[in-house]
Chain A
Amino acid sequence: MTNSNLSDDEAKASNCTSREPVMPSFRLNAWLALTVGTYMAMLFLEKQHPDWSPGLKITLCLVPILPGLIYLRKGLELLRGMDELQRRIQFESWLFAAVGTAVVSAIINVFNSHGIVAHWAPHRLEVGATYLMMFCLWSIGVMISNLRYR
């Protein structure tokens, strides 16, 4: 039904903007990929050219920040475009991911301090592994919340 079929009150109450569940868009993921790509390129170049001047190295280190900031902005735009239930789902999922990551990191630390780390387990979490774990926990959180509010 369109706005023209609605009464004044109905039209006032209606924004007529359909908001289907929003998943991270292709464009948003492209900015994330670009951020990770420039970060990897920065690490590679830094290793390959240890003789570069400190000024050049600092500039190189700052390059991934630009696509990272754009990614952050696009992510916030996506969040603002969500309706209240979708925002709640995202909030619960991020909380789950953050607390889950903190708990797993703490457990690994406790195991390390008591020398009970299995031979295959990491002795400390690398930054990349932490991000990956957070992403996995966020995905699980989104799945659980979607099932809950289905």
Chain B
Amino acid sequence: MKNRMRELRAERKWSQGELAEKLGVSRQTINAIETEKYDPSLPLAFKIGLLFKQPLEQIFTPGPA
């Protein structure tokens, strides 16, 4: 699955650590999602959508990870 996490985070000038803190996950998780090595669970994906105020389909798009 492809995602725009890095781009959205950069727009807000947040570090990976800051984003991790806001989402209640580790920085390693944020990095793994951004590098598309790991697809987040549905609850985490919803949290990400809520945080970036974007519908999920605008953050995550289907495709090979």
Interface residues of A (CB under 8 A from B): 1, 6, 9-10, 12-21, 83-86, 88, 146, 148-150
Contacts and interface: CB of A to CB of B under 8 A. Distances in A.
B10 interface: no
Interface in B15-65: 17-18, 20-29, 31-32, 37-38, 40-41, 44, 47-48, 50-51, 53
B50 A84 contact: no
Q: Is the interface of B mostly helix, strand, loop or mixed?
A: helix
Interface of B: 14, 17-18, 20-29, 31-32, 37-38, 40-41, 44, 47-48, 50-51, 53
- A-B residue pairs, 10 tightest by C-beta: A15-B24, A13-B50, A13-B51, A85-B29, A14-B22, A83-B25, A149-B32, A19-B26, A13-B47, A18-B21
Q: Is the interface of A mostly helix, strand, loop or mixed?
A: loop
Contacts of B47: 13-14
Given A9-B50, A13-B47, A1 B22 contact: yes
